[in-house]
Amino acid sequence: MEWNFRNGIPIYTQIIDEMTMRIASGAYQSGEKLPSVRDLAMDAGVNPNTMQSALAELERRGLVFSERTSGRFVTKEDGVLKQLHEDLAKKYFEELAEKLRKIGMTGEEIAGAVKRWLEDIR
C-alpha cells in the first residue's frame, strides 16, 4: 500500500485519514493486528512519534484498540465500522454536492444526475 503525503497538511492528519480509509475499505480487516509503530513509520517514511500520535488518536476514536503486550488491532465492533462507513459516505457526498452546487446544479438536478451516472458507470 502506498503512502502519499501532500504539502502543508500535518502528516498526523494525513495518517489518520489514510488509516481510516484502510480500515473502512477492509485493507485492514476487522480484528486484524496492525504492524508496529516503527514498521508503519518506516513504510510511510514518517517520524515514529508522528505515527504514534496518529495511532493514539485512532484509538481514541475507537477504530483501533491496543492490548498491552500484543500490539494494536482493528476494532471488532460492527457498530463502529458501520458508523465509519456512514461518516465517510456523508463526507464524500458533501464534497460532491458542494462542487455541483458551485456549478449551479439544484438538489433535484443532482439527485437525477447521480442516478443517471451510476447507471452509466455500471
Partner 1 sequence: MARIEINNLTKEFGTLTALDSVALELEKGQIVGLLGPNGSGKTTLIKILNGLLTPTAGNVLINGMEPGVETKRVVAYLPDRNALPDYMNTQQLIDLYQDFFTDFNRTKAEDMVLDLGIDMKQQMKRMSKGTKEKLQLCLVMAREADVYLLDEPIGGVDPATRDYILRTIISNYNEDAVVIISTHLISDIESVLDDVIFLKEGKVVLHRNAEDIREETGESVDQLFREVFRC
Site for partner 1, residues 58 to 117, rule: CB under 8 A: none
In angstroms, what is the minimal distance from the CB of 66 to partner 1?
Answer: 18
Q: Among 5-13, 57-65, 69-77, 107-115, which window interacts with partner 1 (CB under 8 A)? A: 5-13
Q: Among 19-27, 37-45, 57-65, 72-80, which window interacts with partner 1 (CB under 8 A)? A: 37-45
Choose between 42 and 89: whose C-beta lies nearer to partner 1. 42
Q: Does 45 bind partner 1 (CB under 8 A)?
A: yes
Q: Among 38-46, 55-63, 101-109, 113-121, which window interacts with partner 1 (CB under 8 A)? A: 38-46
CA gap 45, 11 in Å, rounded: 11
Residue 28 C-alpha from the chain's centroid = 11
* Interface positions with partner 1 (CB under 8 A): 5, 7-12, 38, 41-42, 44-50
